[in-house]
Structure 1
Amino acid sequence: MEKQGITTLIVHADRHFGVEHNAIRKPIHSSVQYGFDKVEDLIGVFQGTVKNAFNYARTGTPTTAALESKLTQLEQGIGSICFASGMGAIAAVFLTLLRAGDHLVSSRYVFAGTNSLFGTMSDLGIDVSMVDACSVANVEAALRPSTRMVFLETIANPGTEVPDLAAIGALCRQRGLLLVVDNTITSPALFLPRSIGAGLSINSLSKTIGGHGAALGGVVTDTGEFSWETYPNISADYRRGDTKQWGLQQMRKKALRDMGASMSSEAAHQIGIGAETLALRVHQTSSNALALARYLQAHPAIKSVNYPWLESHPQHEVAKRHFSAGSWLLSFELRDLSSMLPALNRLRVATRATGMGDTRTLVIPVAPSIYWEAGPEVRAKMNIGDGLVRMSVGLEEEQDLIDDFEQALR
């Protein structure tokens, strides 16, 4: 089949893979157990000699497998594993591929849940160095003989910092390090981590790809860019078969079978439907976000606006080079901190809520909510001021959003 656009690919994916009873969309398979005519086949599923079969829903169902196939195509990878949430996917990568004594280098500008997870990892003997990844020099200076992995977010939540993506990718290739990229904010509609040599791409499916705030989910996609035979932490049990599948095998066994961070078939079905409008939503929300960012930047009540598509953004050129649009995420600060909460309370279209990547515009003051537990010292290192407001821009009409902020800021 000739190469197709992202929307054509995703809306026809199920029927091209083959669906029961000539349906055009994969049905929801709610069964937890799966039976076999011969016990030898059941044994073969456990031992990996029988492929494309299921034995227990904790390690996958036909519905989650269909979603994994779609996501693999979107990321142009070689395989994917779905999890119950985005944090489940991130934890799976770190806790199944790193061991006590290993070292991880991460951008210091990361999601609050990821930052909290780093504390748990340190308690388990995995050392984490958090650096300003907007410069490759900072990443390189942090590397040690025990470094196994480098972790980045494409656009940082909530400050919108953009790492030195191409240079860090080249550094990791040169040093033989596994580069892991959280692609949630951009999604495959705006950026492919494999283009910079990332071995693994992570997406919180609850956000951009699912897009409607209707189902939790996460996914890890192997891009095929990393050579697992050189990675020392693959257990002997999983050093069998296709070497490109070793990382996924270990994650599926350790994170799904052992830890149980499994996605339900119902969530997979809902996310699969949401993904069909991915490209349409991303480009509309990016357009809305840019219009709002420009409006806010010119407003006398606003102290600063963070959005990669603004020419004033420190990493504007890096963002333009790598991404096809600016995404739906922006943040801003008011000049008068005392006016922040009253202004947010006056919003009528935008919703005061946590979460991101929804069809609706969502706003939240960051420091006293999602980053409150991190404390002032960590917030300062992450450039999160007390008055920073995060906004996930939705699909509402552009002028309605601008009018809403005009009356709220007045």
Structure 2
Amino acid sequence: MTSQPIVLDPTGSDIQAEIDRLRAQGPATPVELPGGIRAWSITDTALLERLLVSPQVSKDPRQHWPAFAGGEITPDWSLYLWVAVNNMFTAYGADHRRLRRLVAPAFTARRTDALRPRIEEIAAEILDELAATPAGTVVDLRDEFCYQVPVRVIFELMGVPAELGTGMRACFDAAFDTTITPEDAQANYLELYRFLGELVAYKRATPGDDMTSLLIASRDDDGEGAPLSEPELIDTLLLVISAGHETTINLLDQTITALLTHPDELAKVTAGKVSWTDAIEEALRFESAVVHVPLRYAVTEIEVAPGVVIAPGDPILVCYAATGRDPRTHPGDAAVFDVSRADKAHMAFGYGVHHCLGAPLARAEAGIALPALFARFPRLRLAVPAKELEPLPSFISNGHRALPVHLT
């Protein structure tokens, strides 16, 4: 990696402009991450499709990233959690298949369908709370709706007690903040694992009909040679709880924002001319809930373009958000929000063997919560000009710090 890298903006101030800049440099571009770590950014859809299914690319830093294996990457790095966990997110080959099989039963289509009545109840409860807001009050819809629906769903699914929920939420938020200082990153790392340890201890003492209890039982009952080691158990909980709400929060946030800033498109949906599924998929394409995902590593030398070679051990940063606006995939109008477009191809939930297991649940939550929101508040509107909405301080998570609205 010899050419001068593009330093990624940790504040995420203009994600789409930065992606355009990366794309203009070619399908694979050297970038610099916080802490001076260099990686290859992949923005080309065809190349992503090739790399994300290739055994030449790994997510296991212990095997395939020499800097990590050699101890150069430490817990005070702001992205340490993204690479150091022991779960299916960072597993490679047979280990990945083993860990994914243990979690997959919680996210089958049948299990998701069974959750729909409870999701409807949760959404209705939250909308009732919002309806009690005094007239004229500005409501932060991200915090009071977009956040509440998926967090309540995933916390119930995982059996997270209320007394742990608030602290865990703050830790997960910090994990997606790419402006965090090394000191705060290390403190957040330790605090998050303290909460997860408390969750495991609580569910061992008071097991229930929840995914955490099921994973603990799988771990404890098998004893020697258990399918999950203790670190894998903790890190699997970290993955499922964080991924189970963060993507959906941004999906709700970005879909609401796109519809409120494109009233003609909103009118098509509310009039039944196009479905809510169309609106949700177009929002996922237009503003992917996740932008860049750290990290993958070249297992062998990979030629990605004539004269452009990723060397063994080089880190790779996947830009899922780039695919939704790739001009080769969506020629002519990739930057236009159009709920009627025929091809809404995107990678908002990943691609290949690491495609998000929770995608059906996220779509179900959005498909229930969004029409209920707009039906309850048909005059919903932004309380500030769209240009004043502040992005999250992240090049990973794509949402807003707040979504201020008038409900009526």
TM-score scaled by structure 2? 0.28
Higher relative contact order (CA 8 A, sep 6+): 2
TM-score scaled by structure 1? 0.28
The structure that is helix-richer by fraction is: 2
